[in-house]
Amino acid sequence: MKKIIVFVLTVVMLLSFSATTYAAETVDTSKGAERFESDSIFTPNAWYYSYTKTITKKYASMDDIPESIEYSEYNSGVDAECSGTLKLKSVTPQSNGLYKVVFSGTIGAYVF
C-alpha cells in the first residue's frame, strides 16, 4: 500500500512540472481586438514596456480639473497602445481665464 501511495504522489509531481496551458491569440481584424480560443497552445512570452509621460491640458474652471486622468497613446517604437493613469502635478492660471494643468505618470503595455 505504501508503494502505491509513493508511486501516485511521484506521478502527480511529475505531471505538475510538465503542465501545458492551452489557448491561442487571434486578432479580430474588423475591430482590431484580441480574443482567446481554447484547444491551442499559448506561450506567454511578453514583457512590460513602460515610460513616464507628461501632458498639458487647459480647463475653463478649477471645478473641472480632475485629480487624475486615464491616458493612452500608440507607441510606434514597440508597436503597442500604451496606457495608464496620469496624476495632477500643477495648475497655472493663464491671462485668458483658462487654467494650464500638467498631468504626469507612467504608461505602458505588455509587448509580445
66-94 pLDDT per residue, tens: 999 999 999 999 999 999 999 999 999 99
In terms of Cα–Cα distance, which of 14, 1, 104, 21 is closest to 57?
Answer: 104
- 6, with CB counted inside 10 A (0-12, 13-18, 19+), is exposed
Residues in the chain: 112
pLDDT for the residue 68: 97
Which of the four pLDDT bands, split at 50, 70 and 90, describes residue 31? low
Give the pLDDT band of residue 3 (cuts 50, 70, 90). Answer: confident
Q: Is the pLDDT of residue 27 over 70?
A: no
Determine the pLDDT at residue 4: 75
